[in-house]
Amino acid sequence: MCEEIKVTLTDCPKQKPDEDHLVFGHTFTDHMFEMDWDKENGWHDARIVPFAPITLSPACNCFHYGQETFEGMKAYRCEDGSIRLFRPEENFKRMNNSNDRLSMPQLDVDFCLKALKKLIEIDADWVPHKKDTSLYIRPFMIGTEPSLGAHTSNQYKFLIILSPVGAYYATGLSPVKIYVEHDYVRAVRGGTGFAKCGGNYAASMKAQDIAEAEGFSQVLWLDGVERKYVEEVGAMNVFFVIGGEVVTPALQGSILPGITRKSVIELLRSWGVKVTERRVAAEELVEAYKEGRFTEMFGSGTAAVISPVGLLRYGDTDMVLSDGKIGELSQKLYDALTGIQWGRAEDPFGWSVKVL
């Protein structure tokens, strides 16, 4: 594992974007982190360089066979002037699980965290200041062996790029519309559902496009085998409030183990709220709704933190949740998580990690 990180600073820093009009993932900071892997040398040439296009052979494995994994996390500018990350080692550990599934090499979690902190220090002025803005962090890894042989790549690149982002909901937390997808599936047990990889997204774009064209923000995926149990939505895990109890689909290999999901479960339990991880049939939600017991639903993920669901459609049943407004628990969780992330609240779990 390489220990030294070579730094080359840009000689033409870019104009920072207007913090009132940040579009998710559209602008990037002045620098990026990059390192390479091959069989003889392992990870080497760790470097921070000016953000720029990378040159790759058109024969690279990632273009043809999709060996690609990624992560998504954020850096927050806090009220005390510090810049902080939220449970960042969890992201690099998860990336190693994804890498293992895609037969890609492991990363040194501590070294990645060190590289990320150094990169953020260099681009610290890019962490936006306005309330609810943050610096989105995208680590990713690609197979770069220039060979069309359909086998595991013998060369890889790992990069981290940074993008200042605005509040997910421009007008504040607001409920979304979702339907249960019955034609397409995202993942099956034994496949790559638990890995954060581009291939899972490629498989889900078509259903997402149809949902958007019909005025829905996302689809709720069913399990790929029985098409009976709900799994997760787009890039978020899901929670249901049924009879006052919080229920979320159990991680069984086809669901992405979200760090926000894990934090929500830990927070709820610390508040004495009962949380159960189990299989949840779509039919069960309809029945519970008809009995007035299914009262609230929300998604959890780094980008939106908590996303209240105002309407869930299954077949021809429309379930209106929390009167189509923000549910009580959704709001409480959103406030608690963002409080810890932006340093506005106590951090009893030690989730917040200082960069600067």
Ligand X SMILES: *Cc1c(COP(=O)(O)O)cnc(C)c1O
Residues that bind ligand X (CB under 6 A): 72, 196, 232, 235-237, 256, 258-261, 300-302
- Of the pair 242, 251, the CB lying nearest ligand X is at 251
- Of the pair 84, 196, the CB lying nearest ligand X is at 196
Tokens read off for 135: 């610096």
Q: Which of 172, 124, 203, 127 is nearest to 326 (CA)?
A: 172
Please tell me the distance from the alpha carbon of residue 48 to that of residue 51, in angstroms, as a whole number: 9
Check if the beta carbon of residue 123 is closer than 8 Å to that of residue 162: yes
Q: Which residues have a Cβ under 8 Å from the Cβ of 92 and sit 6 or more positions away?
A: 71, 107, 109, 112, 113, 139
Shortest approach of ligand X to residue 249 CB, angstroms? 11
Q: Residue 146: how many CB atoms within 10 A of its CB? A: 13
Q: What is the CA radius of gyration of the chain?
A: 21
Please tell me the distance from the alpha carbon of residue 255 to that of residue 356, in angstroms, as a whole number: 34
- Of the pair 217, 295, the CB lying nearest ligand X is at 217
- Of the pair 133, 260, the CB lying nearest ligand X is at 260
Please tell me the distance from the alpha carbon of residue 9 to that of residue 63, in angstroms, as a whole number: 30
Shortest approach of ligand X to residue 148 CB, angstroms? 28
Shortest approach of ligand X to residue 302 CB, angstroms? 3
The residues with which 234 forms a beta bridge, in sequence order, are none
- Of the pair 60, 251, the CB lying nearest ligand X is at 251
Shortest approach of ligand X to residue 314 CB, angstroms? 20
- Of the pair 46, 62, the CB lying nearest ligand X is at 62
Shortest approach of ligand X to residue 261 CB, angstroms? 6
- Of the pair 107, 256, the CB lying nearest ligand X is at 256
Shortest approach of ligand X to residue 301 CB, angstroms? 4
Check if the beta carbon of residue 144 is closer than 8 Å to that of residue 75: no
Shortest approach of ligand X to residue 200 CB, angstroms? 6
Check if the beta carbon of residue 91 is closer than 8 Å to that of residue 139: yes
Strand, helix or coil at 49?
strand
- Helix H or strand E encompassing 202: helix 198-213
- Of the pair 157, 261, the CB lying nearest ligand X is at 261
Check if the beta carbon of residue 166 is closer than 8 Å to that of residue 25: no
Shortest approach of ligand X to residue 259 CB, angstroms? 4
Shortest approach of ligand X to residue 235 CB, angstroms? 4
Alpha helices in 59-156 (DSSP H): 61-64, 88-101, 109-122
Q: Is 179 buried (19+), middle (13-18) or exposed (0-12) by CB count in 10 A?
A: buried
Per the document, the length of the chain is 356
